[in-house]
Amino acid sequence: MTRNTTPTLFDPALLRPALLEAFYKLDPRVQWRNPVMFVVYVGSAFTTALALATPTWFSALVALWLWFTVLFANMAEALAEGRSKAQAASLRGLKKETWAKQLPKGADLPATREAMTWLPLEASQLKRGNVVLVEAGDTVPADGEVILGVASVDESAITGESAPVIRESGGDFSSVTGGTRVLSDWIVVRVSVNPGETFIDRMIAMVENAKRQKTPNEIALTILLVALTLVFLGVVVTLLPFSQFGVAVSGAGKPVSLVVLVALLVCLIPTTIAGLLSAIGVAGMSRMMQANVIATSGRAVEAAGDVDVLLLDKTGTITLGNRQASAFAPAPGVAEAALGDAAQLASVADETPEGRSIVVLARQKFKLPELNAASLDAQFVPFTAQTRMSGVDLPGGRSLRKGAADAIRRHVEALGGDFPAPLQAVVDSIARRGSTPLVVSEGARVLGAIELKDIVKPGIKERFAELRRMGITTVMVTGDNRLTAAAIAAEAGVDDFLAEATPEAKLERIREYQAAGQLVAMTGDGTNDAPALAQADVAVAMNTGTQAAKEAGNMVDLDSNPTKLIEIVETGKQMLMTRGSLTTFSIANDLAKYFAIVPAAFVGTYPQLSALNVMQLATPNSAILSAVVFNALIIVFLIPLALKGVRYRAVGAASLLRRNLAVYGLGGVVVPFVGIKLIDLALVALGVV
């Protein structure tokens, strides 16, 4: 279950503040941050001054719609920021003022709960290194590492998952987050942050500050848009003397007005993408947040879209993680069905995923009747670390056991039986494939072996094929030997694998890819993953992981789902697709506006230009005003697309370019022709011009 704290686009709670923020953003110091829209801003002010100096309906309407253009661009950015602010407000609601039970400074950590002495302290006063006790029903006062005890923790406020998780000292599941609640038992936590540096504080800052950080691609695109604006500005400035010269030579007509020149400039510069550029970037981070992923900046989101190599953990990402029974291998002289029946009986009271999978496989393969552990008049033998086997003792002296091969060997030999040599060869073969062999015996007789296999997740091969079509290389990282890794890699369809992976090996592999000019993404949750996470371009740390892993990464997955890395890459790709598509549309629609406004602007000076009025617009004034109105309204119509993003498609760069040119390039040419003509008809019908 994913927590969704983002209001819908047309939620009044989001629209009203966005409208007010659009007016606040008319401050010149704010407008200056977007050079293209600043030109529109200055043009609006200049046109307003001209309209006040020589009042006409035409100049007043042009000035009004130029201001609308600026306001609509402001509103697009405000809507995107408003969604982030709503998310930040939701996160801020998770912060609660609580009291902590602190170990007195200088005191040694007691060995038992009963020997502990604690002093009350406000959670906001805790500092890095303080040690606190958290008992059942208490809220974890600050981020930290469990150093003693084990407890069930409710993290639904952070992750949205209702199922509690186990946190214990040592290992990769020792990290706890401030604001979560202990449900049972107790833990002793060493605080790992100072006030204002908690995970929730960092999440709030990440969300609120998202709009302040431009990515390299965004900066490059801004430079391109500014260059185009300067080119058009130079062209428009020279048009006035040309117009005056034409009138002087012909002795007829009138030169183009300054109001028309400003309208021409605004319609020709790339205002559409300039007005939506910031909104696209902020919306990308917002979509990450909706997926329960916290990115440190827009730079990390964009890097996800440019990734060339994915390093994916085998267990839990490519495979299910829980071993599943996949085959029965009977001993010589034993029927496979007899082995399956014995394995089912020995596993009917085994509630582990492996035990349940044995029962399911036996029933499916041999059509065995369903058994109920409670209905059997039997004595069940649980698994222990000492015996390394489990089973059942049935009435009539029938005794069934299943367990590790060496444990079953000792068991049957103690009863006077033998372990068949052919079965030992089968057991060795299963182990070499990377699977786990379980041997089943009845009394002193060995019946056969069960192969437990880490199953590749359904559909994962198709996902990797999609990534391959996008030009992304997938690399499986595993601690298995090369033979096992190669078999699973072939079954899963990954491009490469790293077997017997150590922290040093992962770090070296990432550096090799980066030295070849590739961007690398990976996930991790343990302290031993921290060096590789710090080196990777996109590093997704699991929320259940250690503090070191979370600090090394530039994203944190609140759901702690390793497969989320694929979704993160797709979200980054979607943001880049959206920016590219809207840039194509914005530049293409200048062509239609050229045919609308240029003939209308200069027909008074050069009557021959009326032949270019291919849209048959009513009057020069209606043509110019229609183009200005369309230029403003198209920003409004594209706001939902900028915030939701262009639909993700797993295609290569060349295919994506062709599609963008066909859909958004051609659309950018056609839509303005239709839109400007309809606005012209409306203006004439209303008698405005």
The model's pLDDT over 199-238, given as tens digits with 9 standing for 90+, comes to 666 666 655 554 445 667 778 888 988 998 998 888 888 8
For residue range 338-368, what is the model confidence (pLDDT) as tens digits? 999 999 999 888 877 788 889 999 999 988 8
Residue 132, φ and ψ in degrees, nearest 5: -130, 155
With a cut of 70, say whether residue 580 has pLDDT above it: yes
Residue 102, φ and ψ in degrees, nearest 5: -100, 140
pLDDT of the residue at 641: 87
CATH, domain 99-206, list 3.40.30.10, 2.80.10.50, 3.30.565.10, 2.70.150.10 = 2.70.150.10
User: 3-state DSSP call for residue 377?
Assistant: coil
For residue range 217-228, what is the model confidence (pLDDT) as tens digits? 778 888 988 998
Residues at the binding site for ATP are 350, 354, 383-390, 402
Parallel, antiparallel, or unpaired: how do β-strands 309-313 and 473-477 relate? parallel
Question: What is the DSSP secondary structure assignment for residue 420, as one 8-state letter?
Answer: -
pLDDT of the residue at 605: 64
State the residue for tokens 């290389």: 473
Sorted by sequence, the CB contacts under 8 Å of residue 131 that are 6+ apart come out as 102, 103, 109, 147, 188, 189, 190, 191
Q: Active site includes 313? A: yes
Angle at 252 between CA 246 and CA 255, to 5 degrees: 50
41-55, 599-613, 653-667: lowest mean pLDDT where? 599-613
pLDDT of the residue at 115: 66
Q: How many CB atoms lie within 10 A of CB 214?
A: 19
Give the torsion sign (CA, 8, 12, 14, 19): positive
The model's pTM is: 0.64
Confidence class of residue 44 from pLDDT cuts 50, 70 and 90? Answer: very high
CATH architecture under which domain 322-416+431-441 falls: 3-Layer(aba) Sandwich (3.40)
Q: Please, what's the largest Cα pairwise distance for the chain?
A: 123
Q: Which residue, among 547, 543, 510, 548, has the nearest Cα to 530 in the 3D structure?
A: 548
> Region 549-562: what's the mean pLDDT?
78
Quote the CA–CA distance of 300 and 285 in Å, as a whole number. 9
CB 95 within 8 A of CB 200: yes
Q: Which residue, among 323, 217, 300, has the nearest Cα to 555 in the 3D structure?
A: 300
Distances (CA, A) of 297 to 154, 289, 554: 28, 12, 8
For residue range 441-476, what is the model confidence (pLDDT) as tens digits? 999 999 999 998 877 888 888 888 888 887 889 998
> Region 150-159: what's the mean pLDDT?
75
Q: Which residue, among 612, 641, 615, has the nearest Cα to 626 in the 3D structure?
A: 615
User: 3-state DSSP call for residue 474?
Assistant: strand
Q: Which residue, among 1, 316, 301, 286, has the nearest Cα to 158 in the 3D structure?
A: 1
CB 61 within 8 A of CB 625: yes
65-69, 115-119, 512-516: lowest mean pLDDT where? 115-119
With a cut of 90, say whether residue 155 has pLDDT above it: no
> In this structure, what token pair is assigned to residue 250?
């012909």
Quote the CA–CA distance of 95 and 201 in Å, as a whole number. 9
Quote the CA–CA distance of 433 and 451 in Å, as a whole number. 10
Mean pLDDT score across all residues of the chain: 81
With a cut of 80, say whether residue 113 has pLDDT above it: no
Quote the CA–CA distance of 511 and 517 in Å, as a whole number. 10
With a cut of 60, say whether residue 12 has pLDDT above it: yes
Q: Which of 313, 480, 537, 559 is catalytic?
A: 313
> In this structure, what token pair is assigned to residue 279?
């909104």
9-13, 462-466, 626-630: lowest mean pLDDT where? 9-13
pLDDT of the residue at 418: 92
Parallel, antiparallel, or unpaired: how do β-strands 520-524 and 309-313 relate? parallel
Question: What is the DSSP secondary structure assignment for residue 661, as one 8-state letter?
Answer: I
For residue range 50-103, what is the model confidence (pLDDT) as tens digits? 999 888 888 999 999 999 999 999 988 888 777 666 655 665 555 556 778 888
Q: How many CB atoms lie within 10 A of CB 44?
A: 23
Strands (E), 259-397: 293-295, 309-313, 319-330, 379-381, 389-394
Residue 169, φ and ψ in degrees, nearest 5: -75, 145
> Region 274-301: what's the mean pLDDT?
77
CB 651 within 8 A of CB 91: no
Residues at the binding site for Mg(2+) are 525, 529
Quote the CA–CA distance of 292 and 3 in Å, as a whole number. 7
Q: Tell me how many helices (H) and strands (E) the chain has.
A: 23, 20
User: 3-state DSSP call for residue 340?
Assistant: helix
Residues at the binding site are 350, 354, 383-390, 402, 525, 529
Quote the CA–CA distance of 12 and 15 in Å, as a whole number. 5
For residue range 483-499, what is the model confidence (pLDDT) as tens digits? 778 888 888 889 999 88
Quote the CA–CA distance of 632 and 61 in Å, as a whole number. 12
Quote the CA–CA distance of 51 and 276 in Å, as a whole number. 28
Query: 380 has which bridge partners?
Result: 392
State the residue for tokens 């914005």: 586
Quote the CA–CA distance of 653 and 311 in Å, as a whole number. 21
Q: Which residue, among 321, 318, 286, has the nearest Cα to 301 in the 3D structure?
A: 286
Quote the CA–CA distance of 140 and 126 in Å, as a whole number. 12
Question: What is the DSSP secondary structure assignment for residue 251, as one 8-state letter?
Answer: S
Q: Which residue, among 212, 210, 229, 181, has the nearest Cα to 40 in the 3D structure?
A: 229
Residue 183, φ and ψ in degrees, nearest 5: -95, -35
Give the torsion sign (CA, 270, 273, 277, 281): negative
Higher pLDDT, 427 or 164: 427
Which residue ranges make up each domain of the chain? 99-206, 322-416+431-441
Please compute Rg for the chain using Cα positions.
34
With a cut of 70, say whether residue 282 has pLDDT above it: yes
Confidence class of residue 121 from pLDDT cuts 50, 70 and 90? Answer: confident
Q: How many CB atoms lie within 10 A of CB 236?
A: 21
Quote the CA–CA distance of 226 and 228 in Å, as a whole number. 5
Percent helix / strand / coil, the chain, rounded to 5: 55, 15, 30
Q: Which residue, among 216, 268, 281, has the nearest Cα to 578 in the 3D structure?
A: 281
The share of the chain scoring above pLDDT 70, in percent, equals 85
